[in-house]
Amino acid sequence: MSSRNSIISTFRLLEGPQTLGKGPGFWSAFAVVLILACIYPMFADGYDVGNNVYFFNWTFMALGLSLIWGYGGALSFGQTAFFGVAGYAYGVLTINLGDAYGLTFFSLLAAVGISALFAAVLGYFLFFGRISGVFLGIVTLSVTLVLERFMSQTAGPEWAIGSARLNGFNGMGGMPSLTIPWPGGDIVLYPDVTLYYMTLALLVIAYLALRMLVNSRMGNVLVAIRENPQRAEMLGYDIRRYQLGAFVIGSGLAGLSGVLYTAWGNYITPSSMGMSAAALPVVWVAVGGRSDLTTTLFGTLLVLAGFQYLTIYGSQYALVMMGFLLVVTILLAPSGIFITVGSLFSKGLRRRLARERA
Amino acid sequence: MDFLSGLFSFIYQTGDAFAFLVLSACGLAVIFGMMGIINLAHGEFILCGAYVSASAARMGLPLPFAILLGAVVAGLVGMLLERAIIRHLYNRPLDSIVVTWGISMIATQGTLIILGSTMPGTGTPFGSFAVGAYSYSIYRLVLMAAAVATLAVLWLIFTRTRFGILARATIQVPHIAEALGVNTPMIYSLTFGLGAALAGLAGGLYAPTMTLVPTMGAAFVVEAFVTVVVGGADIFLGTAPAAAILAVVKAGLTSWQGQLAGQIGLLVAVIIVIRILPRGLTGFILRERA
């Protein structure tokens, strides 16, 4: 009986003070969007479906950054470090282990674990050193830039782990895609409909789990820390542990993005950890509205689609536009476009906006 | 003789690393120490200084003037940006950092679009001299002298000039300074311009030694970041000693394992240092004195 109650109270956390959207209206809209996302592959060609998987791949990193930055108030500018570490780890593991017996999924879990472990070690020094917001940003950014430079010089044959050559600046390729062991022939998840459904399922799980997390005790404490660290500490919370926890979870999600991206394109390069790569997640999350998971998710998909459109039709101007978008968003709509535009129509959002501006 | 030339080589490398750290970090440190903002477009001001001074030098302007011109142009661009964008965000320091990143993206990619993927530079002047088995560039000695001179001039500016005194007053208690008639927006603008000019100076000074590409700023920022993180808010009590200590670490690791090991070692050293000294050397030194 009590276990059933605890399950119900866990699911109650799907809506709460830290997430926008509640009640039948929101969940009906959620169901409609989910159904549309599920039937979408029937109306689109294979290329577009694979391309959507590419968009989905990045949203995990964005949701993680929303947790760390939007909810926890800690500026982490180096999420791409965990993306890259996990991507390379997946490559090294799968090239050595092969794709039989579901070992690619073992590699996925191991790679995400490695990036989370890396985040835990780095985060221990950062949060337990009690460094302030600004420094956190530039140390994490330095980490990703140094990792980029390190991986760029691993071109020589001496840079190999097992049979996996790191290949320096040109990047590492040739790792197998995710493969489901199946009687009568393994199912290889090429960027196509099956991979689309798997990534979509992962995304829905991550989104709902994060909703429960931020409405739980931990999420509320994180928001309290963002609003006023001293006050949270005086109330008896060890803010270092909560921030470290959020950092590890968020970085694990960045790692998941890295693995999915590497498995999607069978390719990872050092420039995925470089300066402009590191800036993009900040743009996605800031533009959509970092302090909410739903706005972050839609903002990320919107900006990604816009970025790709620009890259196709005016390739070199895409990054300039991203920078411009970031500057304009911070100046005019610091809570993100969705909340700012929505507050024109909704009283609740107006109150929220006023609270955030205060 | 072998030992002496080895010793000289180490001292030379340490001095070189010190000059690089001081010059690349002091612009960042001035802005951070005075305004609490980390300017993520720091590398692009360095880029601006390097490009301006290299073009001026190729047009026939003597190198020292070309370098100063680079610094002045970077400083003016910095003041312009402060007026146009950063001024509106002083009550939101974390947002102001994100904005500077947006500016940095626009500047790097904009440079690539307008000026192309590379720019012809000027050769390194002055030739070289030899001690023992190795030869050393004379220009690197000039850079070391420039680093020391920059610190000296900054010290004079902040302790002996009217601007320096007003700036320090503004930083300590902004509203009192304002009440006493200090034009604080002007002070902020000038301070940001000074930081940008120092970045431009670093760019101008190092332009003859590097390949001029739109992403060259990235070669400086990691070193600048870590120096400021270790140093803390005060440029004289923090940045300068931090640069000295990190220079020894970097030179030691570089001569032992190569350039990249120096950089990685620097970052690891910094991450460990902030665990022990969260407010940087500035906090450490000030606590000792208090």
Question: Which of B113, B225, B267 has the CB atom closest to A316's CB atom?
Answer: B113
Domain boundaries, chain A: 43-271, 274-358
- Pull the structure tokens for residue B5: 């030339």
pLDDT tens over chain A, length 358 residues:
566 777 777 777 787 778 887 778 888 888 899 999 888 888 888 788 888 888 999 999 999 999 999 898 888 888 999 999 999 999 888 888 877 777 888 888 999 999 999 999 999 988 887 776 778 888 888 888 888 888 888 777 777 777 777 777 777 877 888 777 777 777 777 777 888 888 999 999 999 999 999 989 899 999 999 888 889 889 989 988 999 999 999 999 999 999 999 988 888 888 888 888 888 899 899 988 888 888 899 999 999 888 888 888 777 788 888 888 888 888 888 888 888 887 777 766 666 666 665 5
Q: Looking at residue B95, what is its pLDDT?
A: 84
Closest chain A C-alpha to B113 CA, distance in angstroms: 7
Q: Are the Cβ atoms of A125 and B36 closer than 8 angstroms?
A: no
Residue B45: what are its φ and ψ, rounded to 5°? Answer: -70, -35
Domains and their CATH numbers in chain B: 2-123+140-208+215-289 (1.10.3470)
DSSP one-letter string for A101-151: GGHHHHHHHHHHHHHHHHHHHHHHHHHHTT--HHHHHHHHHHHHHHHHHHH
Q: State the Cα–Cα distance between residues A136 and A139, nearest whole angstrom.
A: 5
Report the SS3 class of residue A267.
Answer: strand
What's the pLDDT tens digit per position in B145-193?
899 999 989 888 888 888 888 888 888 787 888 888 888 888 889 989 9
Closest chain B C-alpha to A249 CA, distance in angstroms: 21
The angle, 0 to 180 degrees and rounded to 10, between the axes of the packed helices B93-115 and A275-288 is 130
pLDDT at residue B77 tops 70: yes
A chain contacts of residue B228, beta-carbon cutoff 8 Å: 138
Residue B238 is classified by DSSP as I
User: Is B30 touching A (CB cutoff 8 A)?
Assistant: no
Best B81, B94, B104, B105 residue to mutate vs chain A (most A CBs within 10 Å): B105
Q: State the Cα–Cα distance between residues A353 and A344, nearest whole angstrom.
A: 10
- Pull the structure tokens for residue A333: 């709509």
Q: pLDDT band at residue B290, thresholds of 50, 70 and 90?
A: very low
- Tokens 């739980």 belong to residue: A216
Provide the strand spans (E) within B14-172: 128-131, 134-137
Q: Looking at residue A202, what is its pLDDT?
A: 92
Q: Is the dihedral of CA B246, B250, B253, B256 positive or negative?
A: negative
Q: Are B59 and B52 in contact (CB under 8 A)?
A: no
Q: How far apart are the first and last CA of chain B?
A: 46
Q: Are the Cβ atoms of B274 and A135 closer than 8 angstroms?
A: yes
A chain contacts of residue B109, beta-carbon cutoff 8 Å: 276, 316-317, 319-320, 323
Question: Which of B94, B225, B263 has the CB atom closest to A138's CB atom?
Answer: B225
B chain contacts of residue A150, beta-carbon cutoff 8 Å: 260, 264
pLDDT at residue B278 tops 80: no
Q: CA of B95: which chain A residue's CA is closest?
A: A330
A chain contacts of residue B276, beta-carbon cutoff 8 Å: 129
Question: Which of A77, A153, A330 has the CB atom closest to B260's CB atom?
Answer: A153
Q: Which is more confidently placed, B74 or B96?
A: B74
pLDDT at residue B234 tops 80: no
Q: CA of A320: which chain B residue's CA is closest?
A: B106
ipTM at complex level: 0.83
Q: State the Cα–Cα distance between residues B249 and B1, nearest whole angstrom.
A: 25
Question: Which of A125, A150, A316 has the CB atom closest to B274's CB atom?
Answer: A125
- Pull the structure tokens for residue B288: 């000792």
Q: CA of B28: which chain A residue's CA is closest?
A: A138
